[in-house]
Chains A and B, each alone.
Chain A
């Protein structure tokens, strides 16, 4: 798609809202905060619900299956640091940083409209988990492993936030470099 809404790439000087170097874009946009669904982005407000929900469900099944597989291969003993969930959440956060920069700032053409619902909302949302993180934190506290519990809670936060920041920065630099 090379409609006028996508004009910031071809004609950087002609972008009326050009204060932000990331520019406007058809699917992500510099307005967006929420990668799952952000109603400030007109294209996401108008998403066809049936196909989007099917893509989210299919991606979610894939992501959750991968998480289940990792948990089977790498089970955490009671009272031990839950490394499997830690790496799932850190890697999923790193991947969403790459994905969202590519989608919202990446190319000359708009990505397929189902890429964000399938990969971002579905696969990565289904792969990562906040509920298991909170339950494991709580269980470690109950088991008297306060040190491990706090280390787990803090390292997951630091790892996930550091990963999404680093991956978004590196991807942004790569996109800007390719653009010249």
Chain B
């Protein structure tokens, strides 16, 4: 049952990453990987909110598996982030590669804390 919740979340999360990435690229021609940046930030916001809700005392163990381990885990990606950073550096955009690393980590951390704070306000 627990495993099934993870699978259902991932079956939604992984295609959502692909479609979001595609939609972002249709609007932006930039080489900067805005699509992956967007899905990683969104997943950080949602997982931050879930974690905040649990810390505030909400009983969300099933939601954590479905939305946390499954959806957020599959929506966000480290492998694509790493490979994109490598490609930017290899193709001569070293500054963009560095910006991608710093911005992804700092904005991801900020999104986690924002989500956690919002959940704390709601459930606390």
State which of A32, A71, A95, A96 has its C-beta within 8 Å of the C-beta of B69.
A71
- Chain B residue nearest to A44 (CB atoms) is B22
Q: Mark A142-171, 1 if CB is under 8 A from B, else 0.
A: 000000000001001100110111001000
CB <8 Å contact, B21 and A135: no
Asked if B95 is an interface residue, CB under 8 A from chain A, the answer is no
Residues of B55-92 whose CB lies within 8 A of A? 65, 68-70, 72-88, 91
Contact partners of A120 in chain B: CB under 8 A: 79-80
State how many residues of chain B have any CB contact under 8 Å with chain A: 59
What secondary structure prevails in chain B residues at the interface with A? helix
Instruction: Label chain A's interface by main secondary structure.
Output: helix
Q: Is the CB of B14 within 8 A of A57?
A: yes
B72 contacts A131, C-beta separation under 8 Å: yes
Most chain B CB inside 10 Å of its own CB: which residue of A64, A97, A168: A64
**Is B6 touching A65 in the complex (CB atoms < 8 A)?**
yes
In the complex, the answer to whether A64 meets B73 with C-beta atoms within 8 Å is yes
**Separation of A133 and B44 alpha carbons in the complex (Å):** 9
A2-10, A11-19, A107-115, A122-130 - the one binding chain B:
A122-130
Count residues on chain A whose CB falls below 8 Å from chain B CBs.
58
Asked if B108 and A96 sit within 8 Å, CB to CB, the answer is no
**Sample (27) of A-B pairs whose CB atoms are under 8 Å apart:** A34-B33, A34-B80, A37-B25, A39-B26, A58-B11, A64-B6, A65-B3, A67-B69, A68-B3, A89-B79, A93-B82, A95-B79, A124-B77, A124-B79, A124-B80, A125-B14, A125-B17, A128-B77, A130-B76, A131-B40, A134-B48, A135-B48, A138-B112, A153-B105, A164-B82, A164-B86, A165-B86
Q: A68-B69, A125-B74 are in contact. List 19 more A-B contacts (CB 8 A).
A: A34-B80, A36-B17, A56-B14, A56-B15, A60-B10, A61-B14, A64-B6, A64-B9, A89-B79, A124-B77, A126-B10, A129-B78, A130-B77, A131-B43, A138-B48, A138-B51, A153-B105, A161-B85, A164-B79
What residues of chain B have their CB less than 8 Å away from a CB belonging to chain A? Answer: 3, 6-7, 9-15, 17-19, 21-22, 25-26, 31, 33, 35-36, 40, 43-44, 46-48, 51, 65, 68-70, 72-88, 91, 101, 104-105, 108-109, 111-113, 116
